[in-house]
Structure 1
Amino acid sequence: MIETDRLTLRPWLDSDLDDLTAINADPAVYEWLAGPFTREMNAASITRQQAFQTEYGYCYWAMLERVSGRLIGMAGLMPVTFDAGFLPAVEIGWRLSPGFQGRGYATEAAKAALAHGFSRAGLREIVSFTVPHNRASRAVMERIGMRHDPAMDFDHPRLPPGHPLRRHVFYRIQPGQG
């Protein structure tokens, strides 16, 4: 478990399924992702994150607001599991319920995840990527010290040619940067 001033990042519990499903059902959450997530997809995501936590000591953790104890999203680290020109790689990412966006929670969680990745997990590089027009996520990447590497921008292999979200911009950071 990781605690920041306002957040707790912790491994997923099976009992988080209803809250995660509600978060991922909001169009503002999946605007930059490939569509809404079914309950079954959310259950599979929790299982996958639990497995990553067990194997690597990190995952996209459940993000709770400390004051309320409410599940407000996810943030953390995850191995990239699709074929890309930058493998092997560990990605940092975040997703927040709309009522909690724009308050600095993603940046706070991402900084904690970076610290964990570099100090506790011993990673030498962490990457992130999003669609070019996702200015909010790109701003978080830049606030935590990541740098855009245009030479590594790519078409996401899990999205079909012509899909409006296929093109991704690529960011990276190494220990001591930022």
Structure 2
Amino acid sequence: MSSKVPRIETERLILRRMSFDDWPDYVSMLASKRSAHMGGPYDAEGAWAMFCRDAAQWDFFSVGALMIDEKSTGHCVGQVGINFGPPFPEYELGWLVYPDAEGKGYAFEAATALSDWAFNARGLPTLVSYIAPENDRSLVLANRLGAVLDQNAARPDPDDLVFRHPKG
């Protein structure tokens, strides 16, 4: 199954296809302690595997990762994506922002836009977020997005909390 990767614009952001130009900031983020709630830190080989998976999911499942650019500067501030495939029991909405972009509402804006696309354009029946219990910032964001804890949902990591997102 092949899919056209969407380009989604919000008031402040452009969500766009990944490019190799995104690799240096991506690998730096995944090598840092900030990736601990995503199974990291990762070495370059592990980060490369995730980078390629994020991009390849578009061809396999018509979902995947989009990079988040500030409209005003063109600066990439992070990534938002919908993961699916063998490691994921359900379609998972995930996000990461680079350190200099924290606290500006970019993850909320990007996740809202991508979940709207997922439900309305892609027609997904449901979205969840798998979140490590100690990942306070993502727990707050999931709640802000209106997601509700689903104690009975399957999860890739038995310690993860699963938040189910409402159809917008």
Shorter-chain TM-score: what band? 0.7 to 0.9
Q: Find the aligned partners of 1:126 and 1:93 in 2 and give their Cα distance.
A: 10
Q: Which amino acid aligns with 1:39?
A: A
Could you say which residue in structure 2 is the equivalent of 1:151?
Answer: 152
Say which SS state the counterpart of residue 122 (structure 1) adopts: coil
Say which SS state the counterpart of residue 37 (structure 1) adopts: coil
Does residue 125 of structure 2 align to residue 120 of structure 1? no
Could you say which residue in structure 1 is the equivalent of 2:4?
Answer: none
Could you say which residue in structure 2 is the equivalent of 1:70?
Answer: 75
Over 3 Å counting, the alpha-carbon distance change for 1:82 and 1:153 in structure 2 is: closer
Is this contact kept in 1: 2:55–2:65, CA < 8 A? Answer: no
Could you say which residue in structure 2 is the equivalent of 1:38?
Answer: 43
Could you say which residue in structure 2 is the equivalent of 1:97?
Answer: 98
Q: Which amino acid aligns with 2:132?
A: V
Q: Among the aligned pairs, what percent are the same residue?
A: 28
Is this contact kept in 2: 1:147–1:172, CA < 8 A? Answer: yes
Could you say which residue in structure 2 is the equivalent of 1:175?
Answer: 167
Which is further off, 92-101 or 10-19? 10-19
Residues 16-72 of structure 1 deviation map (CA, whole Å, 9 limit, x = unaligned) = 211211222332x21323222222333322322222122333212111122221222
Say which SS state the counterpart of residue 69 (structure 1) adopts: coil
Tell me the TM-score normalised to structure 1 length: 0.81
Q: Find the aligned partners of 1:137 and 1:42 in 2 and give their Cα distance.
A: 21
Q: Which amino acid aligns with 2:30?
A: N
The CA deviation at 1:123 is: 0.5
Q: Find the aligned partners of 2:85 and 2:131 in 1 and give their Cα distance.
A: 13
Could you say which residue in structure 2 is the equivalent of 1:6?
Answer: 12
Tell me the TM-score normalised to structure 2 length: 0.85
Q: Find the aligned partners of 1:121 and 1:153 in 2 and give their Cα distance.
A: 22
Which is further off, 143-152 or 116-125? 143-152
Q: Gaps (5+ residues) in structure 1?
A: 157-165
Match among 4, 15, 22 for residue 16 of structure 1:
22
Question: Number of matched residues?
Answer: 162
Could you say which residue in structure 2 is the equivalent of 1:162?
Answer: none
The CA deviation at 1:78 is: 1.4
Q: Which amino acid aligns with 2:81?
A: G
Q: Which amino acid aligns with 1:94?
A: W
Q: Gaps (5+ residues) in structure 2?
A: 1-6
Could you say which residue in structure 2 is the equivalent of 1:52?
Answer: 57
Flag as ranges the 4+ runs of structure 1 deviating above 4 A: none
Q: Which amino acid aligns with 1:32?
A: H
Say which SS state the counterpart of residue 160 (structure 2) adopts: strand
Q: Find the aligned partners of 1:118 and 1:76 in 2 and give their Cα distance.
A: 13
Q: Find the aligned partners of 2:31 and 2:69 in 1 and give their Cα distance.
A: 18
The CA deviation at 1:115 is: 0.3
Over 3 Å counting, the alpha-carbon distance change for 1:63 and 1:80 in structure 2 is: same
The RMSD of aligned alpha carbons is 2.0
Q: Which amino acid aligns with 1:82?
A: P
Q: Find the aligned partners of 1:154 and 1:20 in 2 and give their Cα distance.
A: 25
